[in-house]
Amino acid sequence: MSKLRHFQLGDMLMHESKSSRWKVETDSTRRWWLTLSHPSTGFDPRKHLSGFESRDEVLERKKALIRILLTGEDHHHRLGTTLGICETGSRCGLSICPFCMRRFRSGFLIPEVCAQIARWQECTGESGVAVSVVPAKLKLAAGELHQLDLPKMLDAFRQRLRRAGYGGYISINGVDLSFNESSEGKWASHWQPHFYAVVLSANEPKQVKAELGKFFPADESVRVPVHVKRLNDPMRPVSYLWKPFFQRRVSYIATNGRLAARKLPLRPDQVREVALFFGEKAPTERLLFTGIRRRGQHLVEM
Ligand SMILES: [Zn+2]
């Protein structure tokens, strides 16, 4: 980042800090993901993960996001402007920036997590499990996403992992978010935070599901709060741990009478709300590691 660029961004963030609830980061040295270049492990998801977002897709998503932000209020407008001047050699580092977050995922998260999994699988001969968990009680109405306390949510998840007997295992847990609607109007539309996780345990998926399931009750909008699969092909589940965009999930009754859901793009006001919420946060604020920690641009065992 050039000095000029840094000061512009710093000024903008300091200005925001006076008037808003944003967590403000003015120290560019803490934006370590800006310095990522090539995957450290030699495994490059851009080449080896089928369906990994192409540069063209990222460019289209960035343009669409900027368009929506520029039609919002002043604080949205400022985010849109910052995104607009993000370019090669002078990246913005915002965790909603499709380019910067493609780099975060391909240069750090996916190769580092895959390397941890490969090491563990080689040592143990086991697979590990991929988990998705929806804490049904944790819902937020439209316009109230700013009330989501990410550290508290992650800490509660850590406690539940521990109480379920998985506190001592290596796990990588990422927060995802969807805006959930019922086409039959069975419940009020809401933001639903949830987790994707990889747990390096030799236990059977059925056992993990039973042990974790005790802490995540179902409700009308979340019929099956916990899914667990064997981690046979880690790349895909790992790419889901931290998704660079969010969706609307619309539930409906399928022709066979069962509850189904279709995924649709967020509406513009929802895009603006989620961009404001995640925009200034570090991408790692959506992650929880157990048994490992980040040291610089690497994950190391504790
Ligand atoms: Zn950027």
Nearest to 261, CA basis, from 194, 179, 139: 179
Residue type at position 72: G
Question: For residues 16-43, b (16+ Cβ closer than 10 Å) or e, as one string?
Answer: beeeeebebbeebeebbbbebeebbeeb
pLDDT of residue 2 exceeding 70, the answer is: no
Q: Kindly give the distance from the C-alpha atom of residue 27 to the centroid of ligand 1, in angstroms, as a whole number.
A: 16
pLDDT of residue 22 exceeding 80, the answer is: no
Q: Kindly give the distance from the C-alpha atom of residue 189 to the centroid of ligand 1, in angstroms, as a whole number.
A: 31
What pLDDT sits at residue 12?
A: 36
DSSP 154-185: HHHHHHHHHHTT-TTS-EEEEEEEEEEEETT-
Segment among 68-82, 83-97, 135-149, 164-178 with least mean pLDDT: 83-97
Q: Kindly give the distance from the C-alpha atom of residue 103 to the centroid of ligand 1, in angstroms, as a whole number.
A: 9
Residue-wise pLDDT for 101-156, tens only, equals: 999 999 899 999 999 999 999 999 999 999 999 999 999 999 999 999 999 999 99
**What number is the average pLDDT over the span 265-294?**
95
Residue 85: pLDDT band (50, 70, 90) is: very high
Q: Kindly give the distance from the C-alpha atom of residue 127 to the centroid of ligand 1, in angstroms, as a whole number.
A: 35
pTM of the model: 0.87
**What number is the average pLDDT over the span 251-268?**
92
Helix (H, G, I), strand (E, B) or coil at 132: strand
Residue-wise pLDDT for 214-232, tens only, equals: 999 999 999 999 999 999 9
Segment among 6-10, 23-27, 166-170, 227-231 with least mean pLDDT: 6-10
Which residues, other chains included, contact 130 with Cβ-Cβ below 8 Å and sequence gap of 6+?
196, 197, 198, 228, 229, 230, 231, 234, 237
Q: Kindly give the distance from the C-alpha atom of residue 36 to the centroid of ligand 1, in angstroms, as a whole number.
A: 12
What pLDDT sits at residue 129?
A: 98
CA dist., res. 171 & res. 116, Å (int): 10
Q: What is the 3-state secondary structure (H, E, C) of 4-70?
A: HHHHHHHHHHHHHHHHCCCCCCCCHHHCHHHHCCCCCCCCCHHHHCCCCCCHHHHHHHHHHHHHHHH
Token code pair at residue 100: 């910067």
pLDDT: is 267 or 19 the higher one?
A: 267
Q: Cβ distance 229 to 171 under 8 Å?
A: no
CA dist., res. 222 & res. 259, Å (int): 10
CA dist., res. 70 & res. 269, Å (int): 12
Taken in order 218, 267, 99, 66, the sign of the CA dihedral is: negative
What pLDDT sits at residue 27?
A: 44
What pLDDT sits at residue 200?
A: 98
Nearest to 11, CA basis, from 101, 78, 70: 78
Q: Kindly give the distance from the C-alpha atom of residue 172 to the centroid of ligand 1, in angstroms, as a whole number.
A: 25
Instruction: Measure CA 120 to chain center.
Output: 24
Q: Kindly give the distance from the C-alpha atom of residue 95 to the centroid of ligand 1, in angstroms, as a whole number.
A: 8
Average pLDDT taken over every residue of the chain: 87
pLDDT > 70 fraction of the chain, expressed in percent and rounded: 88
Q: Kindly give the distance from the C-alpha atom of residue 116 to the centroid of ligand 1, in angstroms, as a whole number.
A: 27
What pLDDT sits at residue 3?
A: 34
What pLDDT sits at residue 297?
A: 87
Residue 233: pLDDT band (50, 70, 90) is: confident
